[in-house]
Amino acid sequence: MTKLSREPPRPTSSGKMTKRERTRREILAAAIQVMSERGAAQAVVHEIAVRANVTTGTFYNHFRGKAEIVEAVAGWFSVSMMDQADEARAAMTTGTERMVDGCQRYLSIARESPKTALLVLELAMASPTMLKTIGEFVLADVRLGVRQKEFTIFGEQAAVDLVEGYVMLAMRVIALQRPPASYEHSVVATILQGLGVSSQRAAALSGGKV
Amino acid sequence: MTKLSREPPRPTSSGKMTKRERTRREILAAAIQVMSERGAAQAVVHEIAVRANVTTGTFYNHFRGKAEIVEAVAGWFSVSMMDQADEARAAMTTGTERMVDGCQRYLSIARESPKTALLVLELAMASPTMLKTIGEFVLADVRLGVRQKEFTIFGEQAAVDLVEGYVMLAMRVIALQRPPASYEHSVVATILQGLGVSSQRAAALSGGKV
Amino acid sequence: MTKLSREPPRPTSSGKMTKRERTRREILAAAIQVMSERGAAQAVVHEIAVRANVTTGTFYNHFRGKAEIVEAVAGWFSVSMMDQADEARAAMTTGTERMVDGCQRYLSIARESPKTALLVLELAMASPTMLKTIGEFVLADVRLGVRQKEFTIFGEQAAVDLVEGYVMLAMRVIALQRPPASYEHSVVATILQGLGVSSQRAAALSGGKV
Amino acid sequence: MTKLSREPPRPTSSGKMTKRERTRREILAAAIQVMSERGAAQAVVHEIAVRANVTTGTFYNHFRGKAEIVEAVAGWFSVSMMDQADEARAAMTTGTERMVDGCQRYLSIARESPKTALLVLELAMASPTMLKTIGEFVLADVRLGVRQKEFTIFGEQAAVDLVEGYVMLAMRVIALQRPPASYEHSVVATILQGLGVSSQRAAALSGGKV
DNA sequence: GATGAATGAGTTTTCATTCAT
DNA sequence: AATGAATGAAAACTCATTCAT
């Protein structure tokens, strides 16, 4: 379902890219690959360069250092995951609906690409930006749900953190332990319940038997 | 409130310790210190040894390598945090009560010793054991609450992961962003609600205004 | 007093410069800037190019490599410092007078532009040309003074080296330690004495109380 | 005459050295070798280590980095050159005599070991300590000469800088241009004259025909 | 002549681990 | 059991220089 395209795509407008831009993308793609395999902390600049068919020197022409490529990868994931979501969610009008969709998207990354999911988790812990970016989307949905009287919460930050913290651990569990598919539904139902949705509605809306 | 004893003593039964055992403890204590300051990944074996007043050689007489000391520290935290909790919680008989207490303990570590909290989080992500150990305690409380009809959950694993994942992120937020003290209460209330406790009861039981 | 013009202009005869020549000057000017800031050894070709508003490629169209730009900067300083001196010194007829003026000029560079002075010193040590060029001027003054029976020396090379060696260290001292202004006078008087001028005359001619 | 022993000797008291101390000396000796060949700035840590029959790791166990070994070499030269001088000069009682001896020592290093001399010069420019250390000895002799009414100077710092600056350039000239041996005498005579000794006495005391 | 992306060898530095004493 | 000197494999980063366009 949720698919994280393997390379950093989007020629934006459409057509041409400068050579510089093209190289940058190749390095970014290579970095995502290597980091998925070894983890961001263990990723070695030299290997990223080789994978991108480029020398280390070129790498440093495009990124100031390792920290910067990590940030870039984190940024790419933030944007890329949101972009895809945004299209599909244009039609969704209730906070609940959007929340369910958002959580499921993240959980299915873990189901479909465990390595990628673990990388996202590592990046989220390392780069402050990522959680913040995602948190803004979550917050929007939380507010929508509250306005629609579907959610009863004890503070916006606490609500957002519930979603982020829980989903992250659930992703980890899915990636590492491969629980049965029903796990995702239980998680979503639990989140809804945590946001003040009644048990029955939560179960019903979570999209599966729990 | 929750206090993490600074050194890892506990002569267990009571009496004497062999010299070997004593040295081991000193190394462990030093490791906790250094890791709290720099993080587990950045901790340098040599510095741990120096802090423990031993040589690197001695370090390797006691621990097979860095991975092992990290595991040891993780293990010590798991046990130590539970030990303290256990005493205080002997008198608590409802799942809700125990759950509230447990969560608050962890959150107050973050409030009182941010560095330590961040270390615990790092260890939890790195060492599979830690989450498992803690999870067992959480699971016990969850089951108790369910039996007592206080909790309505969508699966035991989902419930445990809610608690663990959420509390971990909340610890991070507390350690890094120092939100007002009411944050902890909101978190606890949200957890209870996620476990199926009614909004009113959750607010009341969480021990503060939310 | 002594002013080192900031940019390396001098259209020589007067009129037009080819674009090539103009670019070369801009690079040279940029090189002087960068080297003054970081020192010649630490100056980075890329930064020189950027400062000159050209690309590295262009840099290499004008200079064979880093060694050559260093030489060029050294050469520019040699010529530029002498040029200015020459005008002012046209009227000076005694060796002593000229010697005093020459030394003061160099010392005041250190007083007014410590960074520039340190660069000149670095270049003088690195590029054999510079000391030789300056040495010829010094030698002329020494010979003049000897012919006029004002100097009593023990060999021309020894006399020239006295002036060059001493002035260079004095420049360094001035640039780095900022001694009181009387230091320059003491230095000049000492040089004169070293060239055989009597103590009284040396003090009087050095242009200040010593 | 002046001989700079090739290795960093002096077991100080006499007998044993710890292994650590022995290794340190070997690294220091290797560093002196390599720096003499390539210059201090061009010396590569790895080569120093290899030359000392040690790995780079060991190098870094003994010196914090390249800057520190440069300082150590500078320090060794300062001490070593002074040590030798001190013995020989115990019997010298006049400032003039001591000054002549001191200058000749340095000049003969350049004559006998040009590479070493150039290294000393590089170190003197790079490490502030070296000139300061040597300057103290020079100052002592200057003061002695002044007290004995042999020197007439225009300030102590100016006098010391005359000696240091001039001798350094003379060393360079000797090392690079190999002038006839009489050059050294001319230099010494010029220095004495610069310190206020009469031309005749200067010539006589400088120890050779000038 | 200018561009500027790419090169890649070179250098410093770090640290977990070993092992002879 | 302890010592602590030595190891050596990594790894990040720099920068003078080249060359296709």
A100-117 pLDDT tens trace: 999 999 999 999 999 999
* Angstrom distance (rounded) from CA B99 to CA B96: 5
Q: Does B159 touch chain A (CB under 8 A)?
A: yes
D64-73 pLDDT tens trace: 999 999 999 9
* Mean predicted confidence (pLDDT) in B93-121: 95
Q: How far is C36 from chain D (nearest CA, A)?
A: 17
* Mean predicted confidence (pLDDT) in A181-190: 97
* Angstrom distance (rounded) from CA D149 to CA D162: 19
Q: Helix or strand or coil: residue B124?
A: helix
- CB < 7 A to strand F: residues 2-61, chain D: 18-20, 22-23, 53-58, 60-61
> Which of A102, A113, A100 minimizes the C-alpha distance to A174?
A113
Quote the Cα angle for B146-B152-B156, to 5°.
Answer: 65
Q: How far is C16 from chain D (nearest CA, A)?
A: 42
D191 or A81, which is more confident: D191
Phi and psi based region of residue D12 (left: phi greater than 0; alpha: psi -120 to 50; beta: remaining): left
Confidence of residue B207 (pLDDT cuts 50, 70, 90): confident
D117-167 pLDDT tens trace: 999 999 999 888 899 999 999 999 999 999 999 999 999 999 999 999 999
Q: Pick the residue from chain D with its C-alpha nearest to C172.
A: D125
Domain with CATH 1.10.10.60 in chain D: 19-69
Q: With residue B58 as reference, give the H or E element that holds it.
A: helix B56-62
Q: How far is CA B73 from the centre of its chain?
A: 11
Q: Nearest residue to nucleotide F17 when comparing alpha carbons to its C1'? A: C65
C169-188 pLDDT tens trace: 999 999 999 999 999 999 99
Confidence of residue B88 (pLDDT cuts 50, 70, 90): confident
* Mean predicted confidence (pLDDT) in A157-182: 98
**C157: pLDDT strictly greater than 90:** yes
Cβ separation B152–A185 shorter than 8 A: no
* Residue numbers of A between 53 and 92 with CB closer than 8 Å to B: none
Q: Does B182 touch chain A (CB under 8 A)?
A: yes
* Angstrom distance (rounded) from CA D29 to CA D8: 6
pLDDT at D14: 45
D102-111 pLDDT tens trace: 999 999 999 9
pLDDT at D183: 98
A45 touches strand E (CB under 7 A): no
Mean pLDDT of chain B: 90
Q: How far is CA A37 from CA A44, A179, B87, in A?
A: 11, 22, 44
What is the sign of the dihedral through the CA atoms of C36, C41, C43 and C48? positive
Tell me, which fold does domain C73-206 have in CATH?
A: Tetracycline Repressor; domain 2 (1.10.357)
Q: Which two tokens stand for residue C73?
A: 């900067």
Amino acid at A109: I
Mean pLDDT of chain C: 90
Domain with CATH 1.10.357 in chain A: 73-206
* Mean predicted confidence (pLDDT) in C36-40: 94
**D6: pLDDT strictly greater than 60:** no
D53-88 pLDDT tens trace: 999 999 999 999 999 999 999 999 988 888 877 888
* Mean predicted confidence (pLDDT) in B165-182: 97
* Mean predicted confidence (pLDDT) in D10-29: 76
Mean pLDDT of chain A: 91
Mean pLDDT of chain D: 90
Out of D170, D189, D193, whose CB is closest to C193?
D193
* Angstrom distance (rounded) from CA B3 to CA D58: 43
* Contact between residue C201 and residue D154 where contact means Cβ atoms under 8 Å apart: no
* Residue numbers of A between 9 and 38 with CB closer than 8 Å to B: none
* Contact between residue B109 and residue B171 where contact means Cβ atoms under 8 Å apart: yes
* Angstrom distance (rounded) from CA B190 to CA B183: 10
**Within a 10 A sphere around the Cβ of C53, how many other Cβ atoms?**
11
pLDDT at B95: 95
* Contact between residue B167 and residue B106 where contact means Cβ atoms under 8 Å apart: yes
> Which of D177, A156, A202 minimizes the C-alpha distance to B154?
A202
pLDDT at A82: 82
- Rounded to 5 degrees, φ, ψ at C174 are -65, -45
Q: With residue D126 as reference, give the H or E element that holds it.
A: helix D114-126
Q: Which residues contact C187 (CB under 8 A, 6 or more apart)?
A: C103, C107, C166, C167, C170, D158, D161, D162
Partner chains of C (3+ C-beta pairs under 8 Å) = D
* Contact between residue C191 and residue D194 where contact means Cβ atoms under 8 Å apart: yes
Q: Which two tokens stand for residue D205?
A: 């005391």
Instruction: Measure, in angstroms, how far nucleotide F7 C1' is from residue B46 CA.
Output: 15
Selected for mutation to probe chain A from B166, B177, B183, B191 (highest A CB count within 10 Å) is B166
* Angstrom distance (rounded) from CA B158 to CA A170: 8
Instruction: Measure, in angstroms, how far nucleotide F12 C1' is from residue A66 CA.
Output: 8
Tell me, which fold does domain D19-69 have in CATH?
A: Arc Repressor Mutant, subunit A (1.10.10)
Q: Which two tokens stand for residue C195?
A: 């060239």
pLDDT at C209: 59
Out of B161, B196, B210, whose CB is closest to A166?
B161
Q: Which two tokens stand for residue D180?
A: 């006839």
Q: Which residues contact D36 (CB under 8 A, 6 or more apart)?
A: D113, D115, D116, D119
Q: Scanning the structure block, which residue is given the tokens 């790092």?
A: B122
**A207: pLDDT strictly greater than 80:** no
* Contact between residue C180 and residue D180 where contact means Cβ atoms under 8 Å apart: no
Q: What DSSP character marks residue A154?
A: S
* Angstrom distance (rounded) from CA B179 to CA B155: 31
Confidence of residue A19 (pLDDT cuts 50, 70, 90): confident
* Angstrom distance (rounded) from CA A2 to CA B91: 48
Chain B residues touching residue A185 (CB < 8 angstroms): 154
* Angstrom distance (rounded) from CA C208 to CA C103: 14
- Rounded to 5 degrees, φ, ψ at D104 are -60, -35
Q: Which two tokens stand for residue B58?
A: 């001695």
**B157: pLDDT strictly greater than 60:** yes
Amino acid at D128: P
Q: What is the pTM of this model?
A: 0.89
Quote the crossing angle between the two packed helices D182-194 and C156-177, to the nearest 10°. 50
Quote the crossing angle between the two packed helices A182-194 and B182-194, to the nearest 10°. 130
Q: With residue B114 as reference, give the H or E element that holds it.
A: helix B114-126
* Angstrom distance (rounded) from CA B50 to CA C167: 51
- Rounded to 5 degrees, φ, ψ at B133 are -60, -50
- Rounded to 5 degrees, φ, ψ at B4 are -95, 110
- For chain A, what is the total number of helices (H) and then of strands (E)? 10, 0
Q: What DSSP character marks residue C115?
A: H
**Within a 10 A sphere around the Cβ of B161, how many other Cβ atoms?**
28
Alpha helix ranges (H) inside chain D: 19-38, 45-51, 56-62, 66-89, 95-112, 114-126, 128-147, 156-177, 182-194, 199-205
Q: How far is A39 from chain B (nearest CA, A)?
A: 12
